[in-house]
Amino acid sequence: MRSTTEPAAIQLLTPEGERLDDPRYPLDVDRETLRRLYQDMVLTRRFDVEATALQRQGELGLWAPLVGQEAAQIGAAYALEARDFVFPTYREHGLAYARGVDPLGVLSLFRGTSHGGWNPNEHNFGLYTIVIGNQALHACGWAFGDRALGGDSVALTCFGDGAMSQGDINEALVWASVFDLPVVFFCQNNQWAISEPLEKQTRVPLYHRAEGFGFPGVRVDGNDVLGVMAVVQDAVRKARAGEGPTLVEAFTFRMGPHTTSDDPTRYRVDADVEVWRHRDPIERLKVYLAHTGDADSTYFAEVDALAEQLGERIRTGTRALPDPTPESWLSGIYAEPHPYVDADIATVRAWENAEVQP
């Protein structure tokens, strides 16, 4: 039996906040970018914590927490250019925030007031995908089309470790390999496919699977925002230069439940959670910023104040989201008017008019 021992991951920032260099993945990041990385991770966590609280209060139907995965998502976001396109799952709240998607758009989906929440073309950020692994095929199709039209953009598609067992992901890996597509497959390996641990999903590290499809794979410390940024930047650069796809495995840990309908205490031990709590992605960058003098207590207080403002906006804005109209059930089915849809809308309007009659 092959070993599942955890291999060394690319790391540029240790859990203690020590900066490392790796000649394979050089990263020149200035003071302002470091501060923005920290701020976006803090605001992403506040977004997530507020949404979880709203679900517990009955304001959202469901929520998929991401606490612990902020560095993976923000680091990946900062490695992209505006022209690149992200194809997310249902947990990419940090990537959505960093790409400019309004948090209330994300929350409208989980509140049930919208079928999507935002226009994918406004920020080159696709709608959340609930079908596990389906978005990887979308990424390949988009990349294929962009290249056929003479573009040089890159598609980044996100998924978890559990999705690596799905047919859609493996079909996408085949398609990207055979057609040498500019796709970065970004696996956030949080070690739990709901309640199924990693050792019951694979006998080898997930990034090794790329080799079988004929392209590179790399594992990075998913709690190291600088390491993720550097590794994804390298994968994006290669894809844009015509060197094909890369599988990036961001090795991290889901600190909370899979969704708010899940109870992780039933299948994992507190000791494992505590180990990863000491690898907190936000705290390690905070220590580094303080040590280098790139940030001080005044800056950290300002970020905390921004988080408070975001929390208040999320709480009040979510409760103020307007209820959808019955007609909205039928919108977005076709790009152009369609007689069948028009007939259905007319039926709905007639029903609405009948409802208000005395």
Q: What does the alpha-carbon distance between residue 358 and residue 352 come to, in Å, rounded to a whole number?
A: 13
3-class DSSP assignment, residue 81: coil
Task: Kindly indicate the confidence band of residue 6, based on its pLDDT and cuts at 50, 70 and 90.
Answer: low
Helix and strand counts by DSSP (H, E) for the chain:
13, 7
Rounded mean pLDDT of 149-178? Answer: 97
Q: List b or e across 217-234, with b for residues whose CB sees 16 or more CB atoms inside 10 angstroms.
A: bbbbbbbbbbbbbbbbbb
Would you state the pLDDT for residue 349? 86
CA atoms within 13 Å, Cβ hemisphere of 109: 19
**Catalytically annotated residues:** 254, 258, 267
331 pLDDT above the threshold of 80: no
Percentage of the chain surpassing pLDDT 70? 97
Structure tokens at 278: 């000491």
Structure tokens at 320: 């103020």
Q: What does the alpha-carbon distance between residue 188 and residue 94 come to, in Å, rounded to a whole number?
A: 13
Structure tokens at 119: 């226009």
Q: What is the mean pLDDT of the chain?
A: 94
Q: What does the alpha-carbon distance between residue 88 and residue 23 come to, in Å, rounded to a whole number?
A: 30
For residue 179, how many other CB atoms are within 10 A of its CB? 15
Q: What does the alpha-carbon distance between residue 76 and residue 86 come to, in Å, rounded to a whole number?
A: 10
356 pLDDT above the threshold of 60: no
**What backbone torsions phi and psi does residue 137 show, to the nearest 5 degrees?**
-70, -40
Partners of 183 in the β-ladder: 155
- As a dihedral over the C-alpha atoms of residue 78, residue 79, residue 84, residue 89, rounded to 10 degrees, the angle is -70
The tens digit of pLDDT for each residue in 255-272 reads 999 999 999 999 999 999
The tens digit of pLDDT for each residue in 96-144 reads 999 999 999 999 999 999 988 899 999 999 999 999 999 999 999 999 9
Contacts of 162 (CB under 8 A, 6+ apart): 132, 192, 193, 194, 196, 201
Would you state the pLDDT for residue 5? 54
Structure tokens at 282: 């936000």
The tens digit of pLDDT for each residue in 35-89 reads 999 999 999 999 999 999 999 999 999 999 999 999 999 999 999 999 999 999 9
Would you state the pLDDT for residue 116? 87
Q: What is the pTM of this model?
A: 0.93
CA angle, residues 282, 286, 292, in degrees to nearest 5:
150
For residue 318, how many other CB atoms are within 10 A of its CB? 21
Q: What does the alpha-carbon distance between residue 12 and residue 20 come to, in Å, rounded to a whole number?
A: 5
- As a dihedral over the C-alpha atoms of residue 239, residue 158, residue 24, residue 217, rounded to 10 degrees, the angle is -80
The tens digit of pLDDT for each residue in 28-41 reads 999 999 999 999 99
Task: Kindly indicate the confidence band of residue 1, based on its pLDDT and cuts at 50, 70 and 90.
Answer: very low
Would you state the pLDDT for residue 355? 61
The tens digit of pLDDT for each residue in 284-313 reads 999 999 999 999 999 999 999 999 999 999
165 pLDDT above the threshold of 80: yes
Would you state the pLDDT for residue 4? 46
Q: Which of 275, 254, 267, 265 is nearest to 191 (CA)?
A: 254
Would you state the pLDDT for residue 330? 83
Partners of 186 in the β-ladder: 158, 248
What is the residue type of 92?
Answer: E
Would you state the pLDDT for residue 62? 97
**What backbone torsions phi and psi does residue 159 show, to the nearest 5 degrees?**
-165, 170
358 pLDDT above the threshold of 60: no
The tens digit of pLDDT for each residue in 230-259 reads 999 999 999 999 999 999 999 999 999 999
Q: Which of 82, 80, 21, 60 is nearest to 224 (CA)?
A: 21
Strands 246-251 and 192-193: unpaired
